[in-house]
Amino acid sequence: MRAQPRVERQAVSSWLRLPRTSVTQSAAALLAAASLQAVAHSGTGYLSTSGNQIVDGAGNSVRITGINWFGFETGTHVVHGLWTRNYKDMLQQVKDLGFNTLRIPYCNAALSPGATTNSINNWANPDLEGLSPIQVLDKIVEHCGELGLRVILDRHSALADNFWNENLWYIPGSPTWTEQRWIDDWVMLAGRYGGNATVIGADLFNEPKNSATWGNSAPATDWNRAAERCGNAILAANPEWLIIVEGVQTFAGQSTWWGGNLMGAASFPVVLSAPNKLVYSMHDYPASVHAQPWFGAPNYPANLPGVWNGFWGYLFAQNTAPLLLGEFGTKLQTTSDQEWLDTLMQYIDGDLDLDGQSDLPIGAKGMSWTFWCLNPNSGDTGGILADDWITVNVVKMAYLQDSLAPLIGAACAADLDGSGIVDGADLGALLGNWGGAGSAADFNGDGTVDGSDLGELLGEWGPC
């Protein structure tokens, strides 16, 4: 979305330090006595699609619930915040907050030979000193894998700090920033991270807008056809990735957010060589970002599901394809914004008519999403983090909390109730079977639920 150098400040009451998941006093005492450390679970396996669901290799529905961390698309050529914090600590915080995926915007200029980073504090990040932007990206991907986080790469723009001016996936008239350069860089990334299931997908181009069209009659501007060309080239290099295709701004005279109009997919669907790798994506924002006409409707916010269904929700409702809400965010400073976010979370969680009941079939997941953003220095929305790059906005997190999904592909033996989190309920189940045999709480299979099993449970405490 919109990265601006000016940092907006929230009301102080919104910014509180968010404690890690707490345990009962007895469990905390046992944890201290055992001197155990948490185990990082690395997710394994690539993802595909089935109907409107994203599925793992076993066909189980999974949900991407992630966050954007921007910077590679700006003049720093690296994610922001590394001037004050260690990147591994920041990624650990992303995981601790419960997100399972990181969407990383980049610009092609950052991938160019000779490109350099700036703004990295080498004292805080000694292993990044002297690395090129793409080598820093390698490090981030590597540590995401160690933590079990997944990564979506987002081609935000060709030039740094230029997405405002780039309506199309290439820059018309430029001999450098051509469609072929865009495709070649994607193919390079697909090969570079081939075989590494940490990186799960390619968001081909951020927010096609203005002159971008969707159809079959304007080769120079038909975004859907360009997405097919690029997506198929990526799949030839790396057949495992999800191909994420955003909408445009205007179709058939109806306009919405940049990249948020997928109406054209009904008549002109994106056709890939591997249809089960296609994910459509959209962005949505509140009235504080731009006063779209629907925010002034007398029945707002009850009118929002109708708006969303018309532009993109129909693809999910009709079981056509999965949807990824790639960007959405707000400072939550107005009642309108608060109502928008509350309604949006209900809708993408599967209550498509806002009647308080899920409209999803048993076993299905809601729409996937990546919140905008981790950074505090987004002028339009602020971030999950405050200006100190540490303190968490717990008010924002409260809106997202119930929608967070477990790490994708991760499994905790100690998650006895299958909630995706090892917590007090699992501890209670283990203690209830203490000394017994034949229990799922006998993690090491020695025939008795005892201290060794308790140690494993406490070592896995928290999100899987």
* CA atoms lying within 13 Å on the CB side of residue 464: 22
Examine the residue annotation and report whether 327 is marked as an active-site residue of this protein. Answer: yes
Q: What is the rounded distance in angstroms from the CA atom of residue 5 to the CA atom of residue 450?
A: 55
Domain assignment of residue 366, yes or no = yes
pLDDT digits (tens, 9 = 90+) for 167-207: 999 999 999 999 999 999 999 999 999 999 999 999 999 99
Same domain, 405 and 429: no
Q: What is the rounded distance in angstroms from the CA atom of residue 156 to the CA atom of residue 3?
A: 11
In this structure, what are the phi and psi dihedrals at residue 182, rounded to the nearest 5 degrees? -60, -45
Residue 23 pLDDT greater than 60, yes or no = no
pLDDT at 418 (0 to 100): 58
Domain assignment of residue 6, yes or no = no
Domain assignment of residue 416, yes or no = no
Domain assignment of residue 301, yes or no = yes
pLDDT at 411 (0 to 100): 62
Same domain, 228 and 303: yes
Alpha carbon 249 to its chain's center: 21
What end-to-end distance do the CA atoms of the chain give, in Å? Answer: 30
Residue 44 pLDDT greater than 70, yes or no = no
Q: Which of 207, 240, 456, 460 is catalytic?
A: 207
Identify the residue whose tokens are 């940049």. Answer: 258
Q: CB of 95 within 8 A of CB of 142?
A: no
pLDDT at 2 (0 to 100): 40
Confidence tier at 37 by pLDDT (50, 70, 90): very low
3-state secondary structure of 343: helix
Domain assignment of residue 35, yes or no = no
Domain assignment of residue 7, yes or no = no
Confidence tier at 419 by pLDDT (50, 70, 90): low
Tally of CB atoms within 10 A around 121: 15
Same domain, 269 and 317: yes
Q: CB of 155 within 8 A of CB of 106?
A: yes
Same domain, 72 and 178: yes
Domain assignment of residue 2, yes or no = no
Q: What is the rounded distance in angstroms from the CA atom of residue 406 to the CA atom of residue 418?
A: 10
Q: Which of 73, 166, 228, 327 is catalytic?
A: 327
Same domain, 402 and 431: no
Domain assignment of residue 321, yes or no = yes
Residue 40 pLDDT greater than 50, yes or no = no
* C-alpha distances out from residue 11 to 16, 259, 386, 394, Å: 11, 31, 10, 12
Same domain, 228 and 351: yes
User: For residue 115, what is the domain's CATH number?
Assistant: 3.20.20.80
Same domain, 445 and 365: no
Q: CB of 46 within 8 A of CB of 357?
A: no
Same domain, 452 and 379: no
pLDDT at 409 (0 to 100): 86
Q: What is the rounded distance in angstroms from the CA atom of residue 461 to the CA atom of residue 430?
A: 13
The range of the structural domain enclosing residue 20 comes to 12-27+41-410
pTM, rounded to two decimals? 0.83
Same domain, 119 and 257: yes
Same domain, 89 and 128: yes
Examine the residue annotation and report whether 207 is marked as an active-site residue of this protein. Answer: yes
Same domain, 353 and 450: no
Same domain, 72 and 150: yes
Q: How many domains does the chain have?
A: 2
